[in-house]
Structure 1
Amino acid sequence: MKNNSIIIGLMTLLCSIFTSCSKTDPQPDFANGELAPFSIEFDNIVGERTFAITNTGSLYTNAAGEKFSISKLQYFISNIKVTKANGNSYTVPQDQSYFLINGEDKSTRFTKIEVPEGDYTKVTFTLGVDSLRSTMDLSKRTGVLDPATGGGHDSGGMYWGWNSGYIFFKLEGTSPVISDDVKGDPTGKKQFKYHIGGFGGFSAPTINNIKTITIDLNAGGIAKVRKGRQSNVHLFVDIMKVFNGKNSFSIAANPNVMFSAFSVNVANNLPEMFRHDHTEN
């Protein structure tokens, strides 16, 4: 009986060893995968209206019944990732994954990158600039992230020199509902300004308005990325959601929002702007 137990134990051990040795470890899904062109298009709209930059007139009306026009729209898109149906994902190298969408320049609406060939059912990106990159040496913050070429806060750029941080989302315009005595508008043009930023602190936590957004592509068409052709995910970006999102607010009550507690309310509306319309393969 004892010998039988020993034999059974040895057989179990041998089976375990052979099973372990014969088991093939899964290879990374993207190993040896050729890179192919891919882009995400950020097509700005305002509700059901075409987006337009203008310094005069009141083109749009929000849920509060307030008319307004838009004179400036800019926002950072970064840290792009694509995901397959099996859950495997590929993150674009960070140095190649920072883009500034400018409403005045339609050519900036495409974030052109390369990812391994494959069929992707989701795209993920950050609205803003992550805390790690925001605190890197200036030599690591070039191109659209260069504070010098981007301009300081006063010159209309996307960097707060006084706060040493990026403005993630900037929307400016005019509205007749704004009071004549609003502070910060010496021009008398009844201007509103929404400059949303803040990545949180390290030793002393501060406002964190970074938003990570994932778009499911199944309904509008997955991205079939292949060499020799351009796959493009077309997103509509509805700027009206800034006012009409889950934290809806009126321009008259909040005409200027920058680095303040209320900026969190505005930032929480921003993910609602992005909607997948279709994919071009």
Structure 2
Amino acid sequence: MKLIHIKLSILVAAFISLTSCSSDDDNNSDALTGENNVSLEFDNSMNGDDLILGASTYTNSNDETLTINRLNYIVSNFVLIDEEGNEFIYPKDESYFVISEENALNEVVLTNIPAGKYVQMRFGVGVDQEKYQQGAEGQGDFLQIAEENNMMWAWQAGYKFLNFEGTFTAPSIASSTDFKIHMGSHGSTLDNYKEVTVNLPSTAMVSDEMTPLIHLEVDANQILDGEHKIYLSEAPVVMVDEVKSPQIAENTSTMFEVHHVHNGEGGHH
């Protein structure tokens, strides 16, 4: 009897041990559930310095000294990518935003993002042809937002993806001269819409309790001083240019980098 009792005790102890391990595993589960908002903050700068409109001067590698009076751009078509490569495509009709330094539009809130661990983000700079070809009626509220922030030429000419303005001096131009860089697509012949993929330096955790803030540093110096060197002294106004407009579009697509991710706790904003 004593031997049976000992064996039974061992079995009971093993069972308790197994169930407690199972319980601990459940409690420590890293599965995220529900949905929440993801906030994106666009922090505009010039080659590492804060961008201050109208107040500071910035000298680029073209030896041109700029004072920036306007920096507006369109970001769109957001996609969040988790650690397994699954993509959550944000609803297209809600996925167009203007970032404007002068109007203090520097935050985008993506709502109802499903729970997950997101490690990359993809988005567009500008408005894609598919959206534009839906006509003025197909733009929803975004058309008015773009007009209010100086991001339209006229409907037939389309959206300005980038509106970058100020004054500059250069070795060959001593007096302060106005510059205007307006970049966008022009019909189907000049499509300057670009997609950007950025890596997140730490995982953005989304759940019913977790609502992350993704902080992007945006280096506007890249617009003129990126892979393609755009000299304002050659052309202080660039709007529809078959050579320079696509180069500016490529430069602009490289100005985004995620600086950090803050995983805040809280419910829906």
- After superposition, the Cα gap between the structure-2 partners of 1:162 and 1:259, relative to the gap in structure 1 and judged at 3 Å, is farther
Structure 1 counterpart of 2:116, which letter?
G
Q: Secondary structure at the match of 1:121?
A: strand
- Are 1:214 and 2:206 counterparts? no
Deviation per residue, 1:114-156 (Å, 9 max, x gap): 2101100110000001111112132321323238x715xxxx7
Structure 2 counterpart of 1:69, which letter?
T
Gaps of 5+ in 1: 1-32, 181-187
Q: Secondary structure at the match of 1:252?
A: coil
- Are 1:168 and 2:165 counterparts? no
TM-score by length of 2: 0.79
Which runs of structure 2 are paired with 1:106-117 in the superposition (5 Å)? Answer: 106=104, 108-114=105-111, 115-117=113-115
Shift of 1:178: 9.2
- After superposition, the Cα gap between the structure-2 partners of 1:269 and 1:64, relative to the gap in structure 1 and judged at 3 Å, is same
For residue 159 of structure 1, the aligned residue among 144, 152, 166 is 152
For residue 240 of structure 2, the aligned residue among 249, 259, 280 is 259
Deviation per residue, 1:159-214 (Å, 9 max, x gap): 1217431111110000123988xxxxxxx96111110001651xxxx111101000
Structure 1 counterpart of 2:141, which letter?
G
Query: In 2, are the aligned partners of 1:73 and 1:104 still within 8 Å (CA)?
Result: yes
- After superposition, the Cα gap between the structure-2 partners of 1:178 and 1:264, relative to the gap in structure 1 and judged at 3 Å, is farther
- Are 1:226 and 2:224 counterparts? no
For residue 137 of structure 2, the aligned residue among 124, 136, 139 is 139
Q: Secondary structure at the match of 1:254?
A: coil
Structure 2 counterpart of 1:81, which letter?
V
Query: In 1, are the aligned partners of 2:163 and 2:183 still within 8 Å (CA)?
Result: yes
Q: CA–CA distance in 1 between the matches of 2:207 and 2:171?
A: 51
- Are 1:198 and 2:185 counterparts? yes
- Residue 19 of structure 1 is matched in structure 2 by none
Q: CA–CA distance in 2 between the matches of 1:189 and 1:162?
A: 33
Which runs of structure 2 are paired with 1:178-193 in the superposition (5 Å)? Answer: 190-193=177-180
- Residue 259 of structure 2 is matched in structure 1 by 277
Q: CA–CA distance in 2 between the matches of 1:228 and 1:95?
A: 27
Q: Secondary structure at the match of 2:202?
A: coil
Query: In 2, are the aligned partners of 1:63 and 1:243 still within 8 Å (CA)?
Result: no
Query: In 1, are the aligned partners of 2:205 and 2:211 still within 8 Å (CA)?
Result: no
- Stretch deviating more after TM superposition (108-117 or 135-144): 135-144
Shift of 1:274: 0.6
Cα RMSD between the aligned structures?
2.2
Gaps of 5+ in 2: 1-32, 264-269
Paired residues, what number?
Answer: 228
Q: CA–CA distance in 2 between the matches of 1:40 and 1:199?
A: 29
Structure 2 counterpart of 1:70, which letter?
I
- Residue 60 of structure 1 is matched in structure 2 by 58
Deviation per residue, 1:61-99 (Å, 9 max, x gap): 011111110111111111000011211101010122111
Structure 2 counterpart of 1:253, which letter?
E
Query: In 2, are the aligned partners of 1:37 and 1:227 still within 8 Å (CA)?
Result: no
- Residue 9 of structure 1 is matched in structure 2 by none
For residue 101 of structure 2, the aligned residue among 103, 110, 122 is 103
Structure 2 counterpart of 1:63, which letter?
S
- Are 1:242 and 2:223 counterparts? yes
Query: In 1, are the aligned partners of 2:38 and 2:213 still within 8 Å (CA)?
Result: yes
- After superposition, the Cα gap between the structure-2 partners of 1:210 and 1:223, relative to the gap in structure 1 and judged at 3 Å, is same
Q: CA–CA distance in 2 between the matches of 1:100 and 1:213?
A: 16
